[in-house]
Structure 1
Amino acid sequence: MPIDPYIVLLLGTVGLAALLPARGVGADVASGASTAAIAFLFFLYGARLSTREALDGLKHWRLHGTVLICTFVVFPVLGLAARGLVPALLTQPLYQGLLFLTLVPSTIQSSIAFTSIARGNVPAAICAGSFSSLVGILLTPLLAAALLGNGGGGFSADSLVKIVLQLLVPFLAGQLLRPWISGFVTRHKKILGFVDRGSILLVVYTAFSEGMTRGIWHQVSVVRLAALLAVEAVLLAVMLLLTWYGARALGFGREDRIAIQFAGSKKSLASGLPMAGVLFGAHASLAVLPLMLFHQMQLMVCAVIAKRRARDPEETPDPARESAADAVQGQPQHRALR
């Protein structure tokens, strides 16, 4: 049951914001730096995403469509169903954060890592995670506008403009400049990875500092946090079961089912935190708390599942199912994308 070191850093950043929140001029400086960091973060996302790989991935459209439906349809439906838990288990701010959690895209790195450990379809996991992140830049703000409304942090036309300027424009700039900077990005992947994580830590510090100065943490109790953890555990269990057995019902082979389970049941902290900073503003600290907790939970649970899947016996090909899959897709169902 691994503890992600980055979660420790995030919690340390929250503690720093609680003890030494940015105030006055310091808060303005932190806010400006956070805005620049978010833009640079999405610029790097655009520079890293291979357009050719994304287009090649369209060949496996059934798998990617399944992951997108799990991420942006099934998850939000479950989030809306959790509305019945307010106020018995969750406060309204915690519920808004939980609902936002269900709207963010899937992960890329951890989905790939767990799919590889479990001997699944790694190329499909790469493309599925990339598609989810790309679609999420546009779809998550739209879903937030439709489902969260003004109660979710004051989403408005101004928020949409901020999303375009801070997320979409830098991402497109990274894509356009990729032919010239992809080599540099690849060579300095490790250093830029620290920049990624440092940017997110800055976003977290800014959000929680503002939350401290506004006194919003008085709205959260230990009992409410325990209830939130229990609700998120049920949410994760439901999605893990749906992605595994639902993919089998749809006729996917073992390798594809593994990719669907890990890509379709997870949520991206790296994408969700910057989006929350833009969408929720002063309320971002409570909005990202459910996402931070869910992120650690999904890593711990999926690590155990991946190791168990790795011990599964090799699947015996079924000629009848392969013929049916060929007729639907025009290619073997189990073939990995190159």
Structure 2
Amino acid sequence: MSKIVKVDKRYALNNSYFKNRKYNYPDTLLEIVLYWKEFGELPFEYGGDNWVFDTMIERQKRHGVINSQYITPDQTARQLVELTNNFIPKDHKVLDACCGTGQLTKYLLENKFNVTGFDADPEMVEVCKYIYPQSDFKLFTIESKPDYEDQRETSDKWDLIVSNPPHKQKDLIPFLNWLSTSLTNEGKAILLLPKGFLTKVRPTKLEEYIKRLNVLHREDMAESFTYTKCAAEIYIVGLDESYKSTTINQFQKQELKTGRIMEKSDLRKIQDISLSKISINPLNPRKRIVDAEIAELAYSIKEIGLLHPITLRYKDEKLQIVAGECRYRAFILNKDETIPAIIKEVTDEEVMLIALTENLERKKLITC
């Protein structure tokens, strides 16, 4: 909707608005949120206590459920959040992963949590920013990413994650990979998943990721999804001890490769590095970089920030890019002076492997 126009007749939301709305009345949830911000009222008559959820349910009645992202019903959202009260994360921080319309965020905030959220749908991210300005929401896509040896040591870590992710298996496989690399060793995740999903043994990659997790508790959802027969249940999971041990062993292998004892904080620490101290990696197999793509990335970074720091290594008395040349170029285009980065010790062979893998996965990632 190019221009927000005040409606001349406010239909009731229930069974009426989406059936009778005129062409210039707001339709999508984001359009309705923008109307609400502009005029201080909703474009329809509503007497309930959760208009965001009820609006999406009414809209689904007309358009159907999209992308298997079933909206968490009120009672089930409360149930998930009630389970979070068994845990006290550092600084009361919790991640609402795949936040959607913010159903879980709504009740997490009521329980005094400090909420950060992300979603792959830019409209949902904008909706959550408007509805819950006290929280931080980012655009982020979970895709199939390579299992680098040190991935668990460099990714963002959370003591507590809650999520109702998309329920298709093709989406849940990369989600579980991401989840296992995003929990602290003692962290917990409270998830709404298809019933029995964490007992699957096929395909092999899914089984591998499931084995990284230890199921601590499971229970049925208090209220079923609307407009779908999908059976789901709530899981509380933590990292399996065997996976923690594997991570430690991989870290020790890295120490042997580099010839020095590395502190874990070396790999986790994100630093602001001056762009003038960084050099391009001549081993990067990607020789053609499109200026238009860099400009688009630069605009995205300026609007929503950098989602992932670049990776550097010391080489010939300079800091050389291991991964993230496009992000580096985008920061230059934005005339920034520094860029968030992680400094690692890697060999030329490892640099080539990482660069090749990153380029193969580039089309699947939200940033290059």
Q: Which has the higher contact order (CA 8 A, sep 6+)?
A: 1
TM beyond 0.5: no
Q: TM-score, normalised by structure 1?
A: 0.26
* Higher helix proportion: 1
Q: TM-score, normalised by structure 2?
A: 0.24
